[in-house]
Amino acid sequence: MKNHQKRRGLLAGLGAMAAAGALVLGGAVAQAAPLPMPSASGVVITKLEQPAVSGDPADGTQIGALPSDTIDGVTFKAYPITVPGGHTVGSNAWQEALADVTLAQAQAEVAGPPAVADVRTGTTANGGVIEWQTGSANTQGNDLPAGLYLIRETATPEGVVAAGDFLLAVPLTHPDNLNAWLDDIYVYPKNAKVDATKTVENVNDLKVGDVVTWTIDAAIPDKRDNDGDIVATDAFEIWDELTDSQLALAPVYNAGGGNTGIRVSVDGTDLDEGDDYTVARVQAGGKTTYKVVLTADGRQAMADALTNNASARISVEIDTTVLTIGEFENEGQIYPNQKTLTDETPVTTDPAEVKYGKVQLNKTSSNGALPAAELAGAQFKVYATKADADASNANNLKPVAPIPADANYDAATGVWTTPSGGQVVISGLRYSDFADGEAQTKFQDVTGQTCVDYNVGDDGTTCEPNVKFQTYWLVEVTALDGHQLLSEPIEFTVNAATTALTSQQTVENQENRNGFVLPLTGGMGTAFLTIGGLALLALVLIVARRRRETEAAE
């Protein structure tokens, strides 16, 4: 790149045509000079993150220390724009007509038809500096021919908010020497970076039919005016797509508002549906998308929050009912400005996940020859804690009825009954080893590391039970006919293996035999024992009385 200056003729100033924060030239319309304008100039675009404090207005010259980090991977297109009047490029008439071209007119021309010819493309790399491509040869070139251009970002890395279009005239007057041209025009457009995450909370939601809460958390776009003040973005939306067979908004969507299953907050302050945001629903192809659309008031609340707290973020919570078993991933999409909506280029979160499954119970008898039909009729309940299981109380888990329905399960009571053959599937339970979107181990030490067992952690510290690892307890409430009831609950887990039925739970009942059969309390057996005991006692009393009478007679 050359650093010397060229003398030049007339050129309209670009102040009204450049985008705020990209290139704003000071000074009035350029004055006449005896030498003609150059046929081309270098255009050096350096992409920056939005700095906390805006610097001096750009004037096309190279700046020293950059005010913020650079961004690689941003693609620009330079569209040549027609200046009305058909004047020769560089003539006084052309330069005068140039000043009247608006950004909207240029955008309309780019939208075509016909298509704009001779478009140049470049991508920032190696410190955020653009590398222009030229034609089919795909060779790097720095110069753009003299003319008026609309500069547009057409691709950005994930999390980078694309900046708006701006106009650039080539060449430009040197700001310090109005009789010279800039060999190279330096432009520093700035982009806000928006990161976003999605998490899920379901540690206590142990069964199908429970409501789990998903949270989308996103950065607020740092958009600034020419004075460096934070201003509201021109649009902001957060979308969440649900698969209808897996998850459903809870409570159901209400087009009139009052959707308590969706909550929005900015920096910890709740926003109001209707005033600060609206919720739209789009249903298609077995999926439902909920769109949280920030109003002007809501976007201003975001800007105000960021002004007061540089770490302020926006959060959307969405409650959904789990409808069936499975491993369900769910991601969020954030549209931080109108351009991302128009271009359909959202910031997409990594997916969060929930996992619900099943386990097959194989009921057997100590009598291995028992016919399959006689393995029917045993009944079981499932509990989340051993204390409840020991008490066999009413706190048993009751997943909603599966689809398709299972004739061996009563959803109202939460009771599973074995059919002929003794095999019954207990379905609708959260994976034991997966909660809040993360894998869980049964024990962990104080630092959260995995433990081999209860006593020794990876770093030698004492381990404790992991409260997010869920053990289930099986209680038999009705035994097989002619068999003894299980004397204590059976501990079991649900995971990918049990759901695939590659790992199963076998429960054996002891058959009543050898005469050691305890009669039912209050049953006929007790009555017979009571009567027999009384008869025996009466006989003893009679024998004792006669013996005393005999001894007295002697």
DSSP string, 537-552: HHHHHHHHHHHHHHHH
What average pLDDT values come out for the chain (554 residues) when binned by 10 residues?
36 35 35 64 90 76 90 93 89 88 94 83 90 59 86 87 88 87 90 93 98 98 84 96 98 97 98 98 98 99 96 98 98 94 92 98 89 94 98 97 93 97 96 97 78 59 85 96 92 96 80 54 38 48 55 54
Q: Could you tell me which of 180, 123, 146, 131 has the C-alpha nearest to residue 2? A: 180
- With 0.75 as the threshold, say if the pTM is over it: yes
Q: Which residues contact 554 (CB under 8 A, 6 or more apart)?
A: none
pLDDT confidence of residue 545 = 58
Rg (CA), the chain: 39
DSSP of 14-55, one letter per residue?
A: -TTTSPTTT----S-SPPP-SSPPPSEEEEEEB-EEPPSS--
**Residues 46, 130: Cα–Cα separation, whole Å:** 6
pLDDT confidence of residue 45 = 92
**Residues 145, 153: Cα–Cα separation, whole Å:** 20
pLDDT confidence of residue 334 = 97
Q: Is the dihedral of CA 122, 123, 126, 127 positive or negative?
A: positive
**Residues 113, 91: Cα–Cα separation, whole Å:** 27
Angle at 56 between CA 55 and CA 61, to 5 degrees: 115
Q: Could you tell me which of 143, 108, 100 has the C-alpha nearest to residue 122? A: 143
pLDDT confidence of residue 369 = 82
pLDDT confidence of residue 114 = 82
pLDDT confidence of residue 461 = 63
